[in-house]
Structure 1
Amino acid sequence: MPISEPESERSDTPEAESGSGQIDLQKADLTAVYSALQTSPKGLTQAEAKTRLERYGPNSIQEKEQSALLKFLRFFWGPIPWMIEAAALLSALIGHWPDFAIIMALLLYNAVAGFWQEHKASNALAALKASMAPQAEVLRDGKFQIVAAADVVPGDIVRIKLGQVVPADVRFIDGKSISIDQAALTGESLPASKKIGDIGYSSSIAKRGEMTAVTIGTGRNTFFGRTAKLVAGAGQGASHSQKAVTHIGDFLIVLCLVLALLLVGTQLYRDIVIAPSWHWSDIINILRTVLVLLIASIPVAMPSVITVTNALGALALSRKKAIVSRLESIEELAGVDILCSDKTGTLTKNQLSLHDPKLFGAKDNTELILAAALASEPGSSDPIDQAIFAGLKDKSQINKFKLKEFTPFDPVTKRAQAEVIDRQGNTLSFCKGAPQAVMALCKISGHSAEKAKSCVQELATRGLRSLGVARSEGGSSWSLLGILSLEDPPRDDSKQTISRAREHGLQVKMITGDDVAIGKEIAAQVGIGQNIFAADNVFDQSEDMDHLPNKVVDCVERADGFGRVFPEHKYAIVKALQGRGHQVAMTGDGVNDAPALKQADCGIAVSGATDAARAAAAIILTAPGLSTVVDAIDEARKIFERIINYVLFRVSMTLDIMVVVVFATILFGFSPLTPVMIVLVALLDDIPIMTIAYDNTLLPKEPVHWEMRDLLLGSTIIGIFSIAQTMGLLLIGMEWLQNGQWQAWTPINKEQIQTIIFLQIVAGGHLLLFVVRSRAAFYTRPLPALKLFFAIVGTQILTVLMCGFGWLVPAIPWHIIGLVWLYMILWMFILDLVKKLLYRRLQDI
C-alpha cells in the first residue's frame, strides 16, 4: 500500500528548514545537529513542537487506503471475466434467462472468492505502523513529559530507558551508556552499545542503561520509515499465476473470436448469398449459436478450481509447519530456484555458546569462565552474559563471592567490570570486554601481547566473537586471564538441508547483517560456499536499487551470500536476481527484511518473526530451521503439478467443445450441444475435479514454472486429438441418421445425437484427465487418489443415469451408452500414446 506524500508546504527533512545547508544529521557533530534542528539540550516548547508537528507531519507511517468496493470491482476486469460477462450479456439479449442466472452466479462466485482471499491477507504496512512506539518521554518547556509517539518532532529531546522502544531516529547526547536491540532493523544478532554521539534507530528496543537523545528524523524520514516505503513499493506486479491465467484467457479469446467470425460469416453467406432468405429473426439464431460458442470457450471454473486446489494445498502445507497467507504464493514457491536465507535462527541456533577458550593467566577453563561470570550481570537478558552463565558448569561457585559494585558495559571503555569480596575478605576486581580494551588495561607487551593479538585475529578469521577476561587484586594492576570465544553454532540439520536443497535444484544464498568473517565460517560449516561478499562493498548507496549496473548484478548472481546487509541491500539482491529471470524466495524475521520479503516471488517469514515480517511474507513458518522451507517447496511442487494437469485437461477440453460446436454447425447445420448441456458439462467436469487437489503425483526434482509455450502447445495437440475423437463420434451419429439398417436396429434423432456428444464430452473428458495427470502411462504409479477416483466415478454414474433416463437431456438407449463407452476407452489408449510422445518431444527441445 503506497505511503502518502507530505503536503507541498511541508519540508521533507529538517535540514531543508534550517537554512544551514544539507548536512548529514547522522554523522555531523552534535553542535551542528543542534544548529540544523534549531534546538538545544533544553528541548522545545509546546508551541514550537506544535508548529513542527504541522510542518513535518506526525511521527507515523501514512498510508492510502483503496476502497473495498474498488478492490472488489477489480475481480470483474480481465480476460476470463470479460468472456463470462459477454456470455451473460448475450444470454440476456436473446432471453436465455436460466443461462444468464447460472453464468452470473459463476462470475460472482469467482469475484467473491478472490476478494475474500485478498481481504484475509495481512497488510505489511499496518503491521509496521502498529509496531511503532505508542508513547515517548520528551523534554518540553523544561520538564520531561509523556506524549504520544506520533507527536514527537525533529529537535525533540527524548529520554530512553530500559525496555522502552526508541520512538524516532535519534542521536544520543547525555548519559553513561545504553544498549539497544536493533536486530529487527539491521540484522545484527547482538544488542548494539551506544555512547554520546551515536545514532539510535526508530523502533529498536533499549536492553540496558538509560540515555537522553535529540530527535533527528520522524515518520517516513526515519530508518524505519524508509523501510516501510520500500515495503510499499515492493512486489506490486502480477504473480506468475495471474499472468498464466491471463495468457490462457487471451489464447481462448483469440481462438473464440476466430471461430465466431468463421461461424457468423458462414451463416451469413448461406442466408444472404447462397439461399437468400434473410430475416431479422435469423439474427437471434446466429446470436444463440455464438452464445453456445462463447459459453463453450470460457473456462469459467478455472480460477475457482485453482483457488480451491491452492487452498487445499495450503492446508497440506500447514501440516508441514508452513502457513500460507497468499494462495498464489504456492505456485511461486514451486518455481523458486534461488533461496536467500538469513543466517541467525534459520541456519544457526540463535543461541550464543562458548567455544574453545584461550588461556593466559587462568589455570583452567573453569577459572576463566568463572571470572567472566563474576564480571556479568546475574539475570541479564544480554546474550553474551547468558552464554557465559550457561558455560559455567558449577554455578554455586559464584556464591563464594559477594558483589560490592558492578559497572555495566561501557561503550567508551568497551568493557564491563565488577568488584567482589571473597570468603577470605579479599577485594577482587574482574572485567570482561573487547580484547583490545582488556589487553590495554592489563598493559601486556612483548610475546604475550603478540600471542593475544594473534589469538584474536585467528578467532576473527573463523567468524568467532572474542572476549577478553582479566582480574585485579586490590585494583592496582590487572592480569589477562584469557580470551573467551563465542559462536552461534549452525543448526544440527542445516548442512543436510542445504544438500537436500541442491538436489532439488535450489541454490541457497546466505544473507546476514553480521560480518563477512562470521558469514564465511557458518557458510563453510553448512556447505553453502565461501564466496561471501560485504554488501556495502558491492552496492553503492547512490545507486538506484531498482536499476543496478550489470557488474553488480553479475556479482549478486555468482555470490554464495552477503554480510553486513541493510534493508535496501536485501531488496536490491532480490530485484537483481529477478531481473536475471530467477524466481527468488527470501526468508527473514525482522522489520529490516519486510521490503525484500514483499518483493520476493515468495517471501518466507521464519519462526519467531516480527509482525511486520509476517505481514509482508507470503508464507509464515511455525517451526525453526531451513528444513521446513525445503519441505514446503516439495509440497508446493506437487500442488503445482496438480494445477498444471488440470489446466492441460481444461484447455484441451475447451478446444474440443469450441471446435466441434463450430464445425458441426457449419457442416451439419445444428449445434451438437445446447447451452444447457454446456453449462452441465462445466458443472459435471469442474465440481468433482476440484478433488484433483488430493491427487497423488510424483515430486519434480527441479523447479517448475508456467511454461506457457509448452503448456498451450501440449493442450492444443491433445485438444486436436480430442476433437478427432468427438468429431468421429458425431460423424458416426450423422451416418446413423442416414443409414436405414442402423435406424431399423436402433432409431435415433438429432436431439439424441446431442445427448451422445454430451455423454462423450463429459465421460471422455474425465478419462482424458486420467491420461494427462501422469507423465507415464495412465495405468502406472502414482495411481489416482481415492477422492479423485470416486468423485469422477460418481459423476460418471450420474451422467449415465441422466442420459439413460432423460434427466435434463433427451434419453438414449442403454446399449448406445455402452457403445459410446467402448469407443471412449479405445480412444483413451490412443490419447495416452499421444501424450507420451508429446512429453518425450518437449523434453528433447
Structure 2
Amino acid sequence: MFAVRNTSAATAKLSVFEDAQKIAHTPERTVEREMRRIAALSAEAVIQEQHSSLQGLSAVEAASRQRIYGPNLIAAEAQRSGWKRFMALLASPLSLLLLVLAGVNLAIGETWGGLMIGIMVMLSSLLSFVQEHRSDRAAQKLRSMVATTATVLRTTKGKIEIPLVGLVPGDIIFLSAGDIIPADVRILSSKSLFISQAALTGESLPVEKTPFAIAQNDAEVFSDIVNLAFMGTNVMSGTGMAIVIATAEHTAFGHIAADLVKRREISSFDQGINKYIRLIILFMLVMVPLVFLVNGLSKGDWLEALLFAVAVAVGLTPEMLPMIITINLAKGALAMSEKKVIVKRLNAIQNFGAMDILCTDKTGTLTQDKIILEQHVDIDGTDSSKVVEYAYLNSYFQTGMKNLLDVAILSYVDVHEKIEPDKHYQKIDEVPFDFERRRMSVIVQQANGSRLLICKGAAEEILSVCTDAEHGGVPAPLASQHGTAMNQTVDSLNQDGFRVIAVAYKQLPPQPADSADAFSKTDESALTLLGYIAFLDPPKDSASEAIIALHHYGVNVKVLSGDNGAVVLNVCRHVGLAGDHVVLGNDIDALDDDALGNIAERSSMFAKLNPMQKARVIRCLQKRNHVVGYLGDGINDGAALKAADVGISVDSAVDIAKESADIILMRKSLIVLKDGVLEGRRVFGNITKYIKMSSSSNFGNMLSVLGASAMLPFLPMAPIQILLNNLLYDVSQTAIATDHVDRDYLKQPRRWEITDIGRFMLTLGPVSSLFDYLTFGILWFVFGAAHQSVLFQTGWFVESLLSQTLVVHIIRTGKIPFAQSKPSLPLLMTTIMIVLLALWLPTSPFSDALGLTALPLLLNIAILLIVSSYLLLTQLLKSWLMSRFGLK
C-alpha cells in the first residue's frame, strides 16, 4: 500500500511560508525541520511515531490527546476572554488619545476634567463591549448549525464526522473534493489527489499530493513537499487518507496571524472610516495647538489655556464613533440572525448594502435545487435502461463527494434492486473528478471476472475520449457525421432545459481483484459512448420575483455557471434575466481584462466557467468600480467567494465554500439576500448619520472656538463645561442605531464617499459656527455678558448643546423631519432628555460646581429662537446639497 520514491526538486516560488520566516525565523525553521523529517519517513513509520494505527484512535485516546493539545483552533479563531476584548477596545486609537488627554488633566490637578474624559472613554468602550458580546453569542449559536466537519476513523465506530475543532495528532482522516485540510497532515494514500494551496502560496493551479516518502531536502520550498498537506488548503479533486501530525498553533502557521492563511483586502467601508479618523486627527493637530497659543498669548494664563486646549481636543474627537459602528453592525447582525442568516464578518453587512452586482451560481438559487433524472437515452435519443444502470454503478461506487446529479441517479426507482451492485460487482479503482477533465470513472469487476471502466461527465469531454458508440446495443466506430448527430441530440435536450451527462464505458481484460494495477486519467481513452442521462432542475417560482426585487433596489444579477450554455439560457429566460447571448469560458480566455470587464458589465449570463474564470469575471467587475457579491456552494465557488466583496454561501455548502464566505444563509434564496441588502443599507445609513453630524459640528466648533478665543478676554466656555457638553451630546447619539432609515435611501447601493462627508462638513459646519457667533453677539451686546464670563459661558453651553443634539433630526433624513420622516422612539426620547437636561443644569444644584448660572427668561427664549433658526437654515441647505450633488 505504501511506497518510497525520490522526487525532483520543485521550482522555488514566493509563498507565505517565506513571509512567515521573515516574521518568525526560529519557530518557522523549527516547524520546517520537523515537517521535512516526517516527510522523509515511510507512512508506516509516521503512524508508529504518532502512536496510532490504520484503524484510528479510540474515543478515549482522542479525548485524552485533546486535553493535552487543546482544541484545533488557530489563535486568530480562538475566542478572546472578556477582559482581553475590553482592553482591546480601550486600546483603539481614539480611546488612547482620550486617555492621554485625561492623564494630562489629572497631572495638572484637574481631577473633574480627567474623570469626565475617563467616563466618556469607559462609556464608549463598555457599550461597544456589550454589543460585541451580544452579537458574538447570537452568531455562535447559528455557527454551531453549520460547523465544518472532518471524516475521521475511530476504532469502535469506524468512519464518523466530527467538528474540525475535535481533531488531534494521530487521527486518521479521509479527504475528498471540497474538503478543507483541517490540520497539517501526512498523506498515507491518495488517488488523483489535487490540493489547492492558493491560500498559502498564491499559486492558482492545484498541486498533486502523493503518499511516497521523500528526502528531507528534496523540495526547495516547504509548500512543495508532496506528501504533506497544510491546514487551510483545500481538496480540489481526488481522494486520500492522511494522518494528523499537527493541530492548532502547532501547525506550520498556527503561530502566525490568520491573515497569512486567509488574506482579505480591507473593505472600502474600513478605508473610509480610517480616512475620516485621520482627517479629524489632522484637524486636531492643527487646531488644538493654535487654540492653546491664541488663548495663552491673549489672556496670559498658560495653564488655563492648556486646560481649554485639552477640552477642545476632547470635543473634537469622535470618541463614540467605534461604539456607533459596533452597535450598528451588531444590530444588523442580530436582525439578520433572526432570519437565520449567519454573519461571519461584521463589516460584510456594509458591503451587502454597497453591493450593486450579485453574481450567483444557477443551481439552487434560480432553480429548486431538486434535480430529477428525467431521461436516459442512447445516442439516437431512444430510451435505454443500460445507460441509467451504468450511470448508477458509476455514482454508487465512487468515493468522492457525491453531487446533486449523483444523488438523483442513486434515488432513481428500482435500479439498485435490479442490478444489485454489491452482489454482482466489485470495485477495483476509480479516477476522481476534476475541473479540467470534467468527468470521473470507476473500474469494477463483474462476477465473471471481466472488468469494466465506466465514465460519466460533460458530453463534450466524454465524446473527446470516445472512439466508438453503441447503436442498437452494438458498438460501432464513430464517424464525423455521428458527432454532428449526437451534438444535435444533446442540444435538443439542453434547449428543453435539461442538463445532459454522457455515459461511456470500456471493457478491460480480466485481472485478479487484488491486483496492484492503478488506473489514471490516461486510461480514459478509446471509450464506447453509451448514451445520455438528462436531468431537470426546475426554476424556482420565487426566483423571478426576487430578481425583480433586487433590480428595484439597484442590484443587477448575473449568473456565473459551469453548466452548459443552453441550459443556463433556458433557466435565465424562465426567471426573467434579460439577454439572448451566453458568454462561454472559452470565449473569455481570449480577452484581456479591459475587454472582459466591458462584456461582464453588459452580459448577465456566463456558462462553462471554471473556478478561476469565475473569480476573474468578478475581479474585472471590481476594477470597473462595482461592489460585487457572489453566492455559491460548490467546490468550484471557493475562488469566486474569496474574490468577491461579500462572499455568500449556504449551510449545506462544501467546506471550502463555507469557510470562504462572509455570510452563511440557512436557506438558499435570493429573497433572503434582498433582505440582507436592505439591512446593510440601514446599518450604513445610521453610521453615516453620526459621521455627518460629528464632522459638521466639530468643524463648526473649531471655527467658533478659534474666533471666540481671539476676541474674548475670557474663555468662551470652561474646560469642564466643554467636557460635559461633549458627554451629554454623545449620550444623545447612542440611540442612532435604533433609528429608522427612509425608504428612498434604501433604493440604491450605498458606498462610502469621503467627498460627500466633506461637503456636509464644509457647508453645515460654518452654518453652525455662524449661529454660535450670533449667540456671542446677543450675549455680549444685549445681555451684557462682556463682564459676566459665567453668563456668557452658560449661554453658549446651552445653545451649543441644544443645537448639536437637535440637528440629528435634520441630518438623519433626506425628507422634512417629523412631517415626512419620523425618528425612532429611543432617539426621540434621548433627544428630549438631553434638551431638558440642558435647560435644567444652569438652575440645578450642580450649577456652581459646573461653573453655570441661571439664565434670564428672555435669554432662554432668544437661545431657542437661535436654535430654531439654525435648524431651519440647516434643513434648507441640506435640501440644496441633495438636489445639487445628489447626496442622501
Q: Following TM superposition, by how much is the alpha carbon of 1:784 offset from its aligned partner in structure 2, in angstroms? A: 1.8
Q: Which of residues 338, 360, 368 in structure 2 aligns to 1:341? A: 360
Q: Alpha carbons of 1:233 and 1:561: their partners in 2 closer, same or farther (altered >3 Å)? A: farther
Q: Which of residues 209, 217, 230 in structure 2 aligns to 1:220? A: 230
Cα distance in 1 for partners of 2:43, 2:857 equals 93
- The question of whether the paired residues in 1 share the 8 Å contact of 2:113 and 2:719 is answered with yes
SS of the residue 1:763 aligns to: helix
> Which amino acid letter does the alignment assign opposite residue 733 of structure 1?
L
Cα distance in 2 for partners of 1:297, 1:481 equals 77
Cα distance in 1 for partners of 2:393, 2:656 equals 37
Equivalent residue for 1:95?
109
Task: State whether structure 2 residue 285 is matched by structure 1 residue 257.
Answer: yes
Note the residue ranges of structure 1 that are not aligned, 5 or more in a row: 18-36, 138-147, 187-197, 203-214, 272-277, 421-430, 471-478, 541-547
- The question of whether the paired residues in 1 share the 8 Å contact of 2:178 and 2:654 is answered with no
Cα distance in 1 for partners of 2:772, 2:606 equals 59
SS of the residue 1:603 aligns to: strand
- The question of whether the paired residues in 1 share the 8 Å contact of 2:196 and 2:233 is answered with no
Cα distance in 2 for partners of 1:325, 1:159 equals 27
Cα distance in 2 for partners of 1:309, 1:165 equals 33
**Superposition pairs of residues 53-68 of structure 1, within 5 angstroms:** none
SS of the residue 2:664 aligns to: strand
Cα distance in 2 for partners of 1:589, 1:481 equals 31
**Superposition pairs of residues 745-764 of structure 1, within 5 angstroms:** 749-764=788-803
Task: State whether structure 2 residue 500 is matched by structure 1 residue 465.
Answer: yes
Q: Following TM superposition, by how much is the alpha carbon of 1:297 offset from its aligned partner in structure 2, in angstroms? A: 0.8
SS of the residue 1:440 aligns to: strand
Q: Which of residues 488, 499, 508 in structure 1 aligns to 2:557? A: 508
Q: Alpha carbons of 1:313 and 1:669: their partners in 2 closer, same or farther (altered >3 Å)? A: farther
Task: State whether structure 2 residue 711 is matched by structure 1 residue 653.
Answer: no
Describe the superposition over 1:331-385 as per-residue Cα deviations: whole angstroms up to 9, x where unpaired. Answer: 22211222232333333333211346669999989x9999899989999987456
Cα distance in 2 for partners of 1:754, 1:222 equals 61
Q: Alpha carbons of 1:582 and 1:10: their partners in 2 closer, same or farther (altered >3 Å)? A: same
Cα distance in 2 for partners of 1:458, 1:201 equals 43
> Which amino acid letter does the alignment assign opposite residue 690 of structure 2?
Y
Equivalent residue for 2:373?
354
**Superposition pairs of residues 324-723 of structure 1, within 5 angstroms:** 324-355=343-374, 383-384=404-405, 386-387=407-408, 405-407=423-425, 439-440=469-470, 442-443=473-474, 454-459=488-493, 464-466=499-501, 484-514=533-563, 518-526=567-575, 527=577, 529=579, 530-534=581-585, 538=589, 560=604, 563=607, 572-589=616-633, 593=637, 596-598=640-642, 600-610=644-654, 613-699=657-743, 700-723=746-769
> Which amino acid letter does the alignment assign opposite residue 681 of structure 2?
R
Q: Which of residues 271, 290, 300 in structure 2 aligns to 1:243? A: 271
> Which amino acid letter does the alignment assign opposite residue 244 of structure 1?
G
> Which amino acid letter does the alignment assign opposite residue 347 of structure 1?
L
- The question of whether the paired residues in 2 share the 8 Å contact of 1:696 and 1:785 is answered with yes
- The question of whether the paired residues in 2 share the 8 Å contact of 1:61 and 1:220 is answered with no
Q: Alpha carbons of 1:185 and 1:418: their partners in 2 closer, same or farther (altered >3 Å)? A: farther
Q: Alpha carbons of 1:499 and 1:183: their partners in 2 closer, same or farther (altered >3 Å)? A: farther
Q: Following TM superposition, by how much is the alpha carbon of 1:490 offset from its aligned partner in structure 2, in angstroms? A: 3.1
- The question of whether the paired residues in 1 share the 8 Å contact of 2:583 and 2:603 is answered with yes
> Which amino acid letter does the alignment assign opposite residue 835 of structure 2?
Q
- The question of whether the paired residues in 1 share the 8 Å contact of 2:179 and 2:656 is answered with no
Q: Alpha carbons of 1:451 and 1:604: their partners in 2 closer, same or farther (altered >3 Å)? A: closer
Cα distance in 1 for partners of 2:48, 2:28 equals 18
- The question of whether the paired residues in 2 share the 8 Å contact of 1:354 and 1:487 is answered with yes
Cα distance in 1 for partners of 2:773, 2:177 equals 80
- The question of whether the paired residues in 1 share the 8 Å contact of 2:582 and 2:605 is answered with yes
Cα distance in 1 for partners of 2:312, 2:174 equals 73
- The question of whether the paired residues in 2 share the 8 Å contact of 1:588 and 1:604 is answered with yes
Q: Alpha carbons of 1:673 and 1:7: their partners in 2 closer, same or farther (altered >3 Å)? A: closer
SS of the residue 1:465 aligns to: strand
SS of the residue 2:807 aligns to: helix
Describe the superposition over 1:181-218 as per-residue Cα deviations: whole angstroms up to 9, x where unpaired. Answer: x99999xxxxxxxxxxx97999xxxxxxxxxxxx9542
Q: Following TM superposition, by how much is the alpha carbon of 1:96 offset from its aligned partner in structure 2, in angstroms? A: 1.8
SS of the residue 1:761 aligns to: helix
SS of the residue 1:657 aligns to: helix
> Which amino acid letter does the alignment assign opposite residue 88 of structure 1?
A
Equivalent residue for 2:519?
none
Equivalent residue for 2:434?
none
> Which amino acid letter does the alignment assign opposite residue 730 of structure 1?
F
Task: State whether structure 2 residue 879 is matched by structure 1 residue 840.
Answer: no
Cα distance in 2 for partners of 1:245, 1:360 equals 61
Equivalent residue for 1:301?
320
Equivalent residue for 1:21?
none
Note the residue ranges of structure 2 that are not aligned, 5 or more in a row: 1-14, 22-26, 53-68, 156-166, 199-206, 212-224, 238-251, 432-439, 448-453, 506-527
Describe the superposition over 1:640-661 as per-residue Cα deviations: whole angstroms up to 9, x where unpaired. Answer: 1222222111222222333322
Equivalent residue for 1:725?
771
SS of the residue 2:630 aligns to: strand
- The question of whether the paired residues in 1 share the 8 Å contact of 2:389 and 2:419 is answered with no
Q: Name the TM-score, length of structure 2 as normaliser.
A: 0.67
| Root mean square deviation, CA, Å | 5.5
Q: Following TM superposition, by how much is the alpha carbon of 1:751 offset from its aligned partner in structure 2, in angstroms? A: 1.5
Cα distance in 1 for partners of 2:396, 2:635 equals 30
Q: Following TM superposition, by how much is the alpha carbon of 1:803 offset from its aligned partner in structure 2, in angstroms? A: 3.3
Cα distance in 2 for partners of 1:454, 1:13 equals 58
> Which amino acid letter does the alignment assign opposite residue 303 of structure 1?
P
Q: Name the TM-score, length of structure 1 as normaliser.
A: 0.70
Q: Alpha carbons of 1:505 and 1:755: their partners in 2 closer, same or farther (altered >3 Å)? A: same
Q: Which of residues 804, 823, 828 in structure 1 aligns to 2:866? A: 823
- The question of whether the paired residues in 2 share the 8 Å contact of 1:505 and 1:702 is answered with yes
Cα distance in 1 for partners of 2:548, 2:574 equals 12
Q: Alpha carbons of 1:303 and 1:370: their partners in 2 closer, same or farther (altered >3 Å)? A: closer
Describe the superposition over 1:678-701 as per-residue Cα deviations: whole angstroms up to 9, x where unpaired. Answer: 333233223232222222222332
- The question of whether the paired residues in 2 share the 8 Å contact of 1:296 and 1:658 is answered with no
- The question of whether the paired residues in 2 share the 8 Å contact of 1:61 and 1:225 is answered with no
Equivalent residue for 1:142?
none
